[in-house]
Amino acid sequence: MAERWDQGQVLSLAPDASAQRGARSLATARSWLSSGSAEQPAAVWGECQGSAATPYRAVVDLSGPVCKCSCPSRKFPCKHALGLLLLWSAGGVDDGEPPDWARTWLSGRAAKAARAKTDEPARAEAAQQAAQRRAEQREQRVAGGLDELDRWLLDQVRAGLARTPRASYQHWDAIAARMVDAQAAGLAERLRSLASVPHSGPGWESRLLEEYALLHLLAVAFRGGRGPREVVRSRIGFTVRQETVLGSGDRVKDRWHMLARRDLEQERIRTRRVWLRAQRDGRFALVLSFAAPGEPFDGALIPGTEADLELAFYPDGLRALVVTSANRAHAAPPPGCTVAGLLNSWARALSRDPWLDSWPAVLAAVTPSRVPRPSLRDAAGDALPLHPAAAECWPLFALSAGNPLTLAGEWTPRGLLPLTAWDDAGQVVAL
Partner 1 sequence: MSSWQAVLSAALIGSERTVVPPPPGAPGPPADPAAALLDHAALLTVARRAGRLAGSAEPPEPAAADPRPAVSPAAGRRLGRILGGEAASSGAGDLLHEWLTAVVERGLRPPPQYLPALLDRARRVAASNPDPDEARLRGLVAAAGGPRAAWLASLNPAWSWLRGAQPATPAQPARLPVGQAATALEMIDAQPDITAVAQLLAEMPGPWPAALTARALRAATSALARTPLNASRVIRLAGLRADPALGAPDGMADFSPQAPQVLHNMLSVLRFRYDMLRELDAA
Candidate segments 257-265, 289-297, 312-320, 423-431, binder of partner 1 by CB under 8 A: 423-431
Q: Which is nearer to partner 1, 20 or 375 (CB)?
A: 375
Residue count, binding to partner 1 (CB under 8 A): 57
By CB under 8 A, is residue 395 in contact with partner 1? yes
Footprint on residues 216-255 left by partner 1 (CB under 8 A) = 216-217, 220
By CB under 8 A, name the one of 72, 168, 403, 426 that touches partner 1: 403
CB of 135 to partner 1, least distance (A): 28
Report the amino acid identity of residue 132. Answer: Q
Q: Residue 404 and residue 368: Cα distance in Å, rounded?
A: 8
426 three-class SS? coil
- What residue type is assigned to position 270 of the chain? R
| Using rule CB under 8 A, residue 21 touches partner 1 | no
Cα–Cα distances (Å) from 304 to 279, 282, 300, 336, in that order, read 13, 16, 12, 14
State the alpha helices, DSSP H only, in 160-184.
170-181
Distance, in Å, from the CA atom of 316 to the CA atom of 234, rounded to the nearest integer, reads 8
20, 345, 367, 420: residue in contact with partner 1 (rule CB under 8 A):
367
Among 11, 71, 287, 376, binds partner 1 (CB under 8 A): 376
Q: How many whole angstroms separate alpha carbon 69 and alpha carbon 73? A: 9
Candidates 377, 408, 418, 420: give the one binding partner 1 (CB under 8 A): 377
CB distance 49 to 102 below 8 Å: no
Q: Which is nearer to partner 1, 139 or 357 (CB)?
A: 357
Classified as helix, coil or strand, 370 is coil
Q: Which is nearer to partner 1, 73 or 338 (CB)?
A: 338
- 239 beta partners: none
Member of 63, 70, 289, 369 binding partner 1 (CB under 8 A): 369
Q: How far is the CB of 354 from partner 1 (least distance, A)?
A: 5
Angle between helices 229-236 and 204-224 (to 10 degrees): 120
Query: What are the two backbone dihedrals, phi and then psi, of residue 428, each rounded to the nearest 5 degrees?
Result: -90, 135
Residues 158-197 that bind partner 1 (CB under 8 A): 158-163
Residue 248, C-beta contacts closer than 8 angstroms, at least 6 positions apart: none
How far apart, in whole angstroms, are the C-alpha atoms of residue 409 and residue 307?
20
Q: Shortest Cβ distance from residue 215 to partner 1 (Å)?
A: 9
Among 111, 135, 300, 398, binds partner 1 (CB under 8 A): 398
Task: Identify which of residues 42 and 343 has a Cβ nearer to partner 1 in the complex.
Answer: 343
**Residue 276 parent element (H or E):** strand 270-278
Please classify residue 341 by burial: count the beta carbons closer than 10 Å to its beta carbon, then call 0-12 exposed, 13-18 middle and 19+ buried.
middle
Q: Is 214 in the site for partner 1 (CB under 8 A)?
A: yes
Residue 347 engages partner 1 in binding (rule: CB under 8 A): yes
CB 66 within 8 A of CB 60: yes
Q: Which of 49, 166, 394, 426 binds partner 1 (CB under 8 A)?
A: 394
- Using CA atoms, how far apart are residues 176 and 386, in angstroms rounded to an integer? 31
Question: Which of 5, 32, 212, 275 is the binder for partner 1 (CB under 8 A)?
Answer: 212
User: CB-wise, 94 or 210, nearer to partner 1?
Assistant: 210
- Residue 292 interacts with partner 1 (CB under 8 A): yes or no: no
Binding site for partner 1 (CB under 8 A): 153-155, 157-163, 205-206, 209-210, 212-214, 216-217, 220, 339-340, 343, 346-347, 350-351, 354, 367-373, 375-377, 381-385, 394-395, 397-399, 401-403, 413, 423, 425, 427, 429, 431
